């Protein structure tokens, strides 16, 4: 019985296959179309999967690129901006603060510029106000490198100007007729040469150094006649709090000769608010600061020991928006 059943099933299966083959032979086009449709569906599914996979990859790449951009975003927690003076200086007239600086504060004096950034103002003071020496210090070694780059540039320009002036004087001298007029020209030349040499080479006058002024343990090798602290107090205050500010003022006092002066340009409290989130440290210190900029005068006169102060802001013009800050001169 079992064998008969298996034989019947085998015969039925063979009949079914023959019928299927006969249909295929009769309708080859229809059969091919059905096959093509099946293949198209498979290909479509495959393409959809590939697109979906590509989409995921692209999104991951974009996300990774965005993350890299965020990771490489440059932050300046100490105010050590690159090209900072580009915001402040009118290229035609130079830094407007030079107009309110008195020559007597600098000429023939030893000077210190705290937070010199790229050194442009430091160099301009040396060139125009004729310091005996001026040292610019900054917390950022990159800004100190920028400062030395600018110093080399200014020195080259100055040498070209000096050489051009000498050639012009020589031409004038050669054109002068008569011994008396020639002697007069020679006298003028000697006097001008003496004046030029008295100014000295910029590299003999200007120097820069990387230093954290507040935390530095460097022994005080010398004292200064004039110390500049321009648009620096906010960054010291935000990074080292009230203690850091008092340390700044106290060290300046100790480094000044009797009769020396501090030229101070403090940022207003509104400026603190704008920059308080540049780091976790600044955000934390911002919440605990007790001494506001308007109290600096009292601190410097009553606690630190300066004799008097004068406001030299009047007449200051040429600064771009955001840099109309008061400038004070404290006398030791």
Q: What pLDDT, on a 0 to 100 scale, did the predictor assign at position 265?
A: 96
pLDDT band at 91 (very low <50, low <70, confident <90, very high): very low
Q: What pLDDT, on a 0 to 100 scale, did the predictor assign at position 219?
A: 81
Kindly report, residue by residue over 99-115, the tens digit of the pLDDT.
899 999 999 999 999 99
Assess whether pLDDT exceeds 60 at residue 24: no
Helices (H), 200-268: 202-205, 233-255
Q: What pLDDT, on a 0 to 100 scale, did the predictor assign at position 168?
A: 56
pLDDT band at 171 (very low <50, low <70, confident <90, very high): low
Kindly report, residue by residue over 244-294, the tens digit of the pLDDT.
999 999 999 999 999 999 999 999 999 999 999 999 999 999 999 999 999
Contact 157, 125 (CB under 8 A): no
Assess whether pLDDT exceeds 70 at residue 321: no
Kindly report, residue by residue over 119-151, the tens digit of the pLDDT.
999 999 999 999 999 999 999 999 999 999 999
Q: Which of 276, 252, 251 is nearest to 264 (CA)?
A: 252
Q: Which of 225, 196, 199, 236 is nearest to 135 (CA)?
A: 225
CA dist 157 and 169 (Å) reads 19
**Cα–Cα distances in Å, from 14 out to 10, 22, 23?**
6, 12, 14
H-run or E-run covering 210? strand 206-210
pLDDT band at 187 (very low <50, low <70, confident <90, very high): very low
């Amino acid at each position: 019985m079992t064998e008969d059943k298996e034989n019947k099933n085998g015969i039925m299966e063979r009949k079914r296959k023959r019928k299927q083959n006969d249909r295929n032979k009769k309708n080859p086009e229809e059969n091919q179309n059905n096959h093509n449709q099946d293949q198209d569906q498979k290909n479509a599914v495959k393409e959809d999967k590939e697109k979906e996979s590509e989409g995921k990859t692209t999104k991951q790449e974009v996300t990774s690129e965005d993350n890299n951009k965020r990771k490489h975003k440059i932050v300046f927690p100490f105010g050590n901006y690159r090209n900072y003076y580009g915001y402040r200086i009118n290229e035609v007239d130079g830094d407007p603060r030079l107009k309110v600086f008195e020559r007597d504060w600098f000429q023939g004096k030893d000077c210190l510029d705290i937070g010199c950034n790229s050194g442009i103002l430091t160099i301009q003071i040396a060139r125009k106000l004729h310091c005996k020496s001026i040292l610019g210090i900054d917390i950022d070694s990159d800004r100190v490198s920028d400062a030395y780059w600018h110093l080399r540039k200014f020195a080259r320009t100055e040498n070209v100007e000096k050489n051009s002036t000498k050639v012009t004087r020589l031409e004038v001298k050669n054109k002068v007729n008569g011994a008396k007029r020639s002697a007069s020209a020679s006298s003028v030349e000697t006097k001008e040469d003496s004046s030029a040499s008295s100014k000295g080479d910029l590299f003999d006058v200007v120097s820069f150094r990387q230093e954290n002024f507040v935390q530095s343990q460097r022994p005080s090798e010398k004292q200064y006649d004039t110390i500049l602290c321009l648009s620096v107090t906010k960054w010291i205050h935000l990074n080292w709090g009230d203690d850091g500010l008092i340390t700044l003022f106290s060290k300046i006092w100790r480094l000044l000769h009797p009769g020396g002066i501090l030229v101070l340009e403090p940022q207003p409290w509104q400026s603190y608010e704008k920059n308080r989130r540049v780091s976790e440290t600044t955000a934390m210190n911002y919440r605990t600061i007790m001494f506001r900029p308007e109290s600096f005068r009292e601190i410097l006169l009553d606690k630190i020991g300066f004799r008097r102060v004068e406001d030299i802001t009047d007449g200051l013009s040429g600064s771009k928006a955001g840099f109309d800050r008061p400038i004070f001169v404290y006398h030791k």
